[in-house]
Structure 1
Amino acid sequence: MSIRHSLLALLQDQPRYGYQLRVEFENRTGATWPLNIGQVYTTLDRLERDALVRKEGDDGGGHVVYSITEAGRAEVGNWFTVPVERSSPPRNELAIKLALAVTLPGVDVQEIIQAQRGASLRALQEYTRARRDATAGQRSADTAWLLVLDSLIFQTEAEVRWLDLCEARMVQQAQGK
């Protein structure tokens, strides 16, 4: 996830200080990926160093307010137009765990798969419930939150299918011995 670009995108709306950026990011993404406030301010410092944001002064309450520069607008505009690269996939702890488990003696891979499947199905139920609740009784639900929920639902469904495949491979391997 690009925190750098996310903060720039939020600053396009209006100048904000770090805590406001953190809250706005979490509001728009349903707090799915919480930001550490230290990470926000570290990123703002780098964005200022790179002339993508500038300090606008104090808000009167001791908070330093940042605004986006023209270079920052160009940077975030480019970010929105360029597809997310898949050449360097993010680390997947579950895939790493299973890859290591199948190579180590004494590890019950089936047990790992079953435990994860249960956790994944519970998460899928929670995401589906959250999606239903987000749309119930509202003419127009928060589109940003619905997009995040849909993404989480599809990712979790894919994970369950992948776990099914892993289990089938373990069965096939056991029968082949």
Structure 2
Amino acid sequence: MSVRMGVLALLVGGPGYGYQLRGEFEQRTGGSWPLNIGQVYTTLDRLERDGLVARGDADDDGHVVYTATDAGREAVARWFSEPVPAKRGRDELAIKFALAVTVPGVDVPRLVQVQRSAALGTLQDLTRLKRSADPATDLAWSLVLESMVFQAEAEVRWLDHVESAVTRHMPPPASVTDVASVRTAEQAR
């Protein structure tokens, strides 16, 4: 997600200052995407530079208050009307397994089990959180939480697929010592 568009969307809802916007963002996302306050102020500076927000006078406490401009409101409306691009490419878990199946000595079935165990632990934690969330009082957090649950479930399903593909297409793993023995024998020739 674009922090830029998130901050701008909050300003379309009403004027705000940096710390207030950071708190609103984190509250609405259940703290699942913590923001650094420096990132918020840098974002506000760039939004102002691009004509999407206007810097107002300081409030009684000395906070500089920002408001969305007409161009900012149009940008948010456009953002809400367009699909989010699918994530492609840089999935660390997929890259890790792509390399694991090609590097000699990696026990890929063990790696699947370790990752599945972690994913199931995450899924259990999220499920506990979901039971305590009340969509009637905090719909925003409930939606974020459900997205995280679905992502964890998808990871477990993908790991099941990886395990099946490895069983069908990979020879049993050679241990690291077996690989070292083969290399030593090759070097002795």
Pair in the same fold by TM > 0.5: yes
Distance in structure 1 (CA, Å) of the matches to 2:89 and 2:56: 35
Whether 1:164 aligns to 2:163 is: no
Q: Partner letter of residue 113 of structure 2?
A: Q
| Unaligned segments of structure 1, at least 5 residues | none
Distance in structure 1 (CA, Å) of the matches to 2:88 and 2:66: 32
Shift of 1:174: 3.0
Distance in structure 1 (CA, Å) of the matches to 2:84 and 2:154: 19
Distance in structure 2 (CA, Å) of the matches to 1:90 and 1:3: 21
Secondary structure of the corresponding residue to residue 67 of structure 1: strand
Shift of 1:176: 9.3
Q: Partner letter of residue 38 of structure 1?
A: G
In structure 2, the residue matched to 1:69 is 69
In structure 2, the residue matched to 1:10 is 10
Q: 1:141 aligns with which of 130, 137, 140?
A: 137
Percent identical pairs in the alignment equals 58
In structure 1, the residue matched to 2:149 is 153
Q: Partner letter of residue 145 of structure 2?
A: L
Distance in structure 2 (CA, Å) of the matches to 1:164 and 1:141: 36
Secondary structure of the corresponding residue to residue 16 of structure 1: coil
Give the 3 Å change call, closer, same or farther, for CA 90–23 of structure 1 in structure 2.
farther
Q: Which protein has the larger Cα radius of gyration, Structure 1 or Structure 2?
A: 2
Distance in structure 2 (CA, Å) of the matches to 1:152 and 1:90: 20
In structure 2, the residue matched to 1:40 is 40
Secondary structure of the corresponding residue to residue 57 of structure 1: strand
Alpha-carbon RMSD across the aligned residues, in angstroms, is 1.9
| Unaligned segments of structure 2, at least 5 residues | 174-189
Which whole-Å deviations, capped at 9, do the CAs of 1:53-98 have from their partners, x for residues lacking one? 0111212333221111010000000000011122x52632111111
Secondary structure of the corresponding residue to residue 153 of structure 1: helix
Distance in structure 1 (CA, Å) of the matches to 2:33 and 2:110: 28
Distance in structure 2 (CA, Å) of the matches to 1:17 and 1:114: 46
Shift of 1:175: 5.4
Q: Give me the TM-score of the superposition, normalised by structure 2.
A: 0.85
- Corresponding pairs, count: 173
Segments of 4+ in structure 1 off by > 2 A?
59-63, 88-91, 174-177
Which whole-Å deviations, capped at 9, do the CAs of 1:7-42 have from their partners, x for residues lacking one? 111011221111111111110010111112221111
In structure 1, the residue matched to 2:176 is none
Distance in structure 1 (CA, Å) of the matches to 2:78 and 2:14: 19
In structure 1, the residue matched to 2:128 is 129
